[in-house]
Structures are given as structure tokens and as C-alpha cells.
Structure 1
Amino acid sequence: MIGDQSGREHYDYLIVGAGFAGSVLAERLASQHDAKVLLIDRRPHIGGNAYDEPNEAGILYHKYGPHIFHTNSDQVVDYLSQFTEWRPYEHRVRAVVRDRLVPIPINRTTLNELFDLDLKTDEDAAAYLASRAEPVADIQTSEDVVVNAVGRELYELFFQGYTRKQWGLDPSELDKSVTSRIPTRTNTDDRYFTDSFQAMPAEGYTRMFERMLDHPNIEVRTGVDFREVRDSVDYGHLIFTGPIDEYFDHRFGKLPYRSLTFDHQTLEQERFQDTGTVNYPAPDVPYTRISEYKHLTGQQAPVTTITYEYPSAEGDPYYPIPRAENQELFKRYEALGDETEGVTFVGRLATYRYYNMDQIVGQALATFRRMDGKREPHNADAVAAA
């Protein structure tokens, strides 16, 4: 890298966070703008929460819980396909309810199995759900969304306990967006997602990130905190994908997050459960779900690795807590960020929103296009001057 007069290394961009947002921007800036990029992450690895690795038994597992790739964006698929082959995979989830294992999202099969019904058509299921629904005139909370759609019994069986565990709050205290993301179906489609593209990186997420960052203009340093390098590295522009409140030293107070802890176990058996993930909505079960990775990866082995997932109030920030007062606090940080020269905030933590992986890739690509667009008038002026 080029040094300045003080002998410090110079980079065009310092990017904080080697997850999807930071890695995509590093790749785009290096490959398309010939920019010199330093990419850092406080964790000892790249890939952010999507990081996966083989454990001692050789099972490829996701250290931070299951990450299932799905998207309706051809642009995102085309971009990532430069760095990975794909293994087709459609995720299916079951929920343990009243000692039965039933599909979730709720569909016609769920209703038939749980209530010993014989609903034969979409119309039958729609009529049944309508008969259970308890209309809410002014839908404000997550509880309102579900009760309005399917009634209180299904709400309590599938949503109330799970949501209380996941968020540490009752659904009546959470924004309606939380449960609005979970559909209720009248057909028998038991896939968790219905996106047009559903697949897993054939060699895992980490291998995909390694290929993405394999560029001579990109230097990657892991196990490094931003505060350790911000004053020792010379850079033209900062891209920050960490928590925006942390960047500003929590000036207005901390933005609230829910965290997770994971209990990874390798079992001396070929298969543990019939689907990739099983949810446990009951409030007396401390974990929210168990995932088994061989469903996702297609690996063949005499042993299997599973993960128990426990929501937590403390730990790494995973889920912004969707309440109006939290959004108001974020807006104060966002306004401060907009006023701050020389830094671009991108990603889930920097924008305090829950995004799927494909949405983060799309956001990073859109951010690059804006940066690219700002260069063009300058380049055109330079050509005209010449």
C-alpha cells in the first residue's frame, strides 16, 4: 500500500465489518474502481453471522445459527454466483405444538393435523381461518396482526410463547412488523420461504466470502477493532457496518438489541430430526428452535450436528427491537450520521433494521451504485478538460 509522509499505510477505503455489507462493497470498490481497501472485523474471521466452518467431526455448521439463502432478486443471485456454485435447498420448518410436529408457517396441513379436520381446499382453509379470526379495528401490535388473522387460540399456540422468548417482550408490546413477516397459508405448501431462488452456497458461506475478497487491492485484517486502527491508518473514506450508536460512542444512549446464544452438539447418529429446523413455541421450553445442518448442506456422515438456540438480552447484537421509541432513538443517530463527513453507514447494525442476507447484498450493491454515480461527473469533467 502507498504510505504517507508519516510512514502510515494509505487506503482509499477503510471498511469496518467483514459480513455481507462490508465484503460486497470491498469487492466492488476493488474490482470496479481499482480502489485500495482495508477491510477489518473484530471477530477472528470473515463472513459475519453467516460464517460457517467444519467442526471436529467434519460437519459444516453455522457458528451463529442457521443461515438459509433465499431471494427474488436476479441481480443478487447473478452477483453472488461469481463466487459460488449453488446447492438447491428449500427450507422446511416444523413446530412442536400440543405434542405434535406440524408445519409452520401455518397451512392447511397444520390445521388438519392440529384440530383433526378434513379441510380439502384453499377455500375450506380460508373459511376456517375466517371463522377463528377476531377482527381488530386498529392494528398496532404483533398481537393484533395474528389475532386479527387467525384468532386467539392459534396466536397463543404458535406466536405468543415463541415471541416472548425471542424478544423478551409480549407481542402486545412489539410493532406489528414482527409477525407481519410470517404468512398464514391456505394451501399445503410447507416450504418456509416461497422465493423464486432458494439454494445454499455449495461449499459454504465462508468459501464464498473468501473468493469475494480474493483481490490484490483488498487487505483483510480480522480480530481487529475499529478503535485500534482508526488513528493509525490513513484512509480516504470510511464505510461502517457496525452498530451506529457504537460509532458515536452511544451519545444518545444505547440502541436496544436482542442477542442469541448457541449450544452446538454433535451426536453419534446419522439424523436427529426430519427437517432443517424445528421450532418450540411453548413458553416452558427455554430454547426457541433446534436446527440440523446436514439438511442444509447435503453432507453425508454417520454423525450429525445440531444447534439449540436461546434468545438472550446480553451478547452480540442480532435483532433490533422493533418498538416506536427505539426507532425514534435510531433516527437521532441516523441524522447525526447524515451530517458526518467522510463516512457511509451500511448494513443491519448501521441502519438498525432486520434484513435478510439478500437484502443486505442488494443494499450494498445499491450503495456502490450511488458511489459510482458520484464519480461519473468528476470523470466526465476530467475527460472534457483533457
Structure 2
Amino acid sequence: MAPGFDYLIVGAGFAGSVLAERLASVRNRRVLIIDRRAHLGGNAFDAYDEHGVLVHRYGPHIFHTNSERVFAYLSRFTAWRPYQHRVRTLVDGRLLPFPINLDTINELYGLSLSSLELEQFFAERAEAREVVATAEDAVVTKVGRELFEKFFRGYTRKQWGREPSELDASVTARVPVRLNRDDRYFTDTYQGVPKEGYTRLFERLLAHPNIKVMLQTDFCEVKGLIPYKHLVYTGPIDSFFGFSLGRLPYRSLRFHQEVLDTPEQGLVQPVATINTPNDTPYTRATEMRQLTGQKHHKSVVIFEEPQAEGDPYYPIPCPDNQALYEAYRQLARERKDVTFAGRLASYRYYNMDQVVAQALKLADTLPDV
């Protein structure tokens, strides 16, 4: 056999791991996957803490999709714990259902509206826009200014470090407004978390004998040292090109963890996640055991505080950033020896299922070597 690998994949998150598994098992190719972190799974990594509580180390990850193909594929590597995510938002001293629905409005204003009356309630408050271009537009054209200020503006400013009027409409358009009492955060056909955790899922994805894994390895450290035929890069696209056109802004997160005693295996919060759009530096608090279903005498609550510096988590969707990304994308098109994949390389706010779908599609179209 020729020395080296057929494919070098940078990044052991969903994009890189799914591609590695497909290339190894379907094409029978030799794959080396590397990651600068000391673990698999990217931001979906989970692990047991010193008390034995399973924790999503980079914030809550709830898998949800309408794609039968994506769900069936991942189900080959994990069983699932069915889970329907629910969120409450702290507004005016009350924990209200979110996304906004019929109960949210009735509880907030002390009303007893029906679904038809709620539709009229929103219509009377909605602000007209010729073009829905910004995150602010996407909300005020649906529910009006007051609800925008109470539920969205503060959260969006903390999360993205910019005013909603500066961000693309997709930021808040992701969050529906409902006329019924459905308080689930997601309504996808398939919802849940891996029964044995995300890390175990990734271990099974990468267990093929054609796949070799190197952790705590930066791409810059092995570039030019390990022979390979084609590169798949899932890191930040601006980093790959040495920031030659300037840095693409990303939002990062700082996590604060509280471990609490829970007699008789009780829970700390009424729902898994509580959003705090207005009066705290953090955006949300999530109780891990509500996601995992783990029985334990302690419970871990993770608080997320967005920040500008640190590991890149979220591409910031606004026109100036998109223009810079398009310039990098043109450079990427000229590199026939490299394929770019995943949230950071695509500078898109993808959900996990969207990343998996992209990787499955790429696995069918990647140049053979």
C-alpha cells in the first residue's frame, strides 16, 4: 500500500466524523481525522463530571430533524432517548412559555384569548415593513414592538453583541410564534438525545479500521509532515487562509456550572432551559439531567454567557460579514485539493442535523482519490 492517507480531515465534530465514516466504510479509503482539542465530538462533546453527572460541556445539544435519512443514519451508531425540549423565559418576574404562544400572552397580560383572538392581538400590534431584512424586522412585523423589547432585544444583543437591527432576519426568524398552546421548542418529527451520550456516538462513528484519529493536534503541526491526497477542512475558513482578507467575527461562550443537591432525585428547574433576556449577563441556564434523563442525587445547571473572544461557536449573520465570507469562499473555490464543510467553514448557523445532511451529501460528491 502507498504510504500516507487518502483523506486528511481537520475537525472531529459532526461534519468531519460523518465524512470520515462514509469515506472509510463506503469507499474503503484510508482516513486520518485530527482535532486540536483533546476529545471527539466538537461542541457536541459530553462527559461525566467528578460527581458522575453527564454534562454537555459546550452547552445543551438537543438533536432534532425532519430528515428521515439523517435520523436513520445516526441511528446506526446510537439508540435515542426521546426528548421534547421546553423553554421558559424570565420576563417581568415570571417564567413564561417560549417560543411565544397562546399561554405566553394570556399569562403575561392576564387575558383569556382564544387562538383566533390571539391572531388579531398580534395583527393589531405588528409593525409594517416593506422588506423584512433584519432580526428586528422579523419580530416586530409578527408581534409588535412591546413583545420584541420584552423577549427578543436583550437576548439578541447579549447573544450576538450587536443590535437586532444590525443582524440578518434569519437570527430571530428561527424562533416561531404560535397561535396554539404548543410549548415545545422544536416541532421536528425526530427529537431526542443519544441514549449513551454524544461522545459514545462519535466513538462508534470513528471505530472503522480505515480511520485513524489524532487529538490535541493542530493542522499547522502536521501540514507537510503527513502525506495525504485530499484535505477536508471543517475549521474557520478565515483561519485556513491565514486571515489574509481579515478576520471573520464569531461569537464565543463562557460557561458557568452549578452543582446542586437534589434530594430524592428531584429537579432544580421547572423546565430544562430558562432564558434570561434582560437582567443577567448570561442568556440561558440549562439543567443537564432534564436532557439526559439521568437519575442522580446531584444536578448540574449550565449558565451560558456570550462573549467576543474565545473558541468560535456562532458565525455572526450580517451583511458585512457575509461579504467577507464570500471573498473567502472565492478563494476556497480555487482550491481543488481542499473541501470545506461544517458550520465554521461555511460561515452558517447550522443545526446539528443540517451539518450531518451536508456531510452525507458531500460524501457522495467528494472527488475520489
TM (norm. structure 1) is 0.93
The residue aligned with 1:303 is 298
Letter of the aligned partner of 2:28 in structure 1? Answer: D
The residue aligned with 1:14 is 8
The residue aligned with 1:7 is none
2:139 maps to which of 125, 141, 146: 146
Of 350-359 and 125-134, the range deviating more from structure 2:
125-134
The residue aligned with 1:227 is 220
- Kept in 2: contact 1:135–1:149 (CA 8 A): no
C-alpha displacement at 1:145, in angstroms? 1.4
C-alpha displacement at 1:137, in angstroms? 2.4
C-alpha displacement at 1:352, in angstroms? 0.4
2:246 maps to which of 253, 256, 265: 253
- Kept in 2: contact 1:95–1:280 (CA 8 A): yes
The residue aligned with 1:100 is 94
- Kept in 2: contact 1:320–1:354 (CA 8 A): yes
User: In structure 1, what is the Cα distance between the partners aligned to 2:242 and 2:131?
Assistant: 38
The residue aligned with 2:112 is 118
Query: Aligned pair 1:280/2:276, yes or no?
Result: yes
C-alpha displacement at 1:216, in angstroms? 0.7
Stretches of structure 2 lacking an aligned partner (at least 5 in a row): none
Query: Aligned pair 1:91/2:85, yes or no?
Result: yes
Query: Aligned pair 1:32/2:26, yes or no?
Result: yes
The residue aligned with 1:381 is none
- Figure out how many residues of one structure are paired with residues of the other and give that number: 366
The residue aligned with 1:358 is 353
Secondary structure of the residue aligned to 1:33 is: coil
The residue aligned with 1:241 is 234
1:215 maps to which of 204, 208, 211: 208
Query: Aligned pair 1:134/2:127, yes or no?
Result: yes
Of 134-143 and 200-209, the range deviating more from structure 2:
134-143
Deviations along 1:234-276, whole A, 9 cap, x unmatched? Answer: 0010000001110000010000111111012211123210111
Secondary structure of the residue aligned to 2:285 is: strand
The residue aligned with 1:41 is 35
Letter of the aligned partner of 2:244 in structure 1? Answer: R
The residue aligned with 1:382 is none
Query: Aligned pair 1:63/2:63, yes or no?
Result: no
Highest CA radius of gyration, 1 or 2? 1
Letter of the aligned partner of 2:20 in structure 1? Answer: A
Of 147-156 and 137-146, the range deviating more from structure 2:
137-146
Query: Aligned pair 1:268/2:264, yes or no?
Result: no
C-alpha displacement at 1:3, in angstroms? 5.9
Secondary structure of the residue aligned to 1:332 is: helix
C-alpha displacement at 1:305, in angstroms? 0.5
Query: Aligned pair 1:318/2:313, yes or no?
Result: yes
Letter of the aligned partner of 1:293 in structure 2? Answer: M
The residue aligned with 1:384 is none
The residue aligned with 1:169 is 162
The residue aligned with 2:75 is 81
Secondary structure of the residue aligned to 1:25 is: helix
TM (norm. structure 2) is 0.97
C-alpha displacement at 1:123, in angstroms? 1.0
* Percent of residue pairs bearing the same amino acid type: 56
User: In structure 2, what is the Cα distance between the partners aligned to 1:305 and 1:204?
Assistant: 16
2:187 maps to which of 194, 198, 208: 194
The residue aligned with 2:333 is 338
User: In structure 2, what is the Cα distance between the partners aligned to 1:235 and 1:139?
Assistant: 46
Secondary structure of the residue aligned to 2:89 is: strand
User: In structure 2, what is the Cα distance between the partners aligned to 1:348 and 1:296?
Assistant: 23
Letter of the aligned partner of 1:155 in structure 2? Answer: F
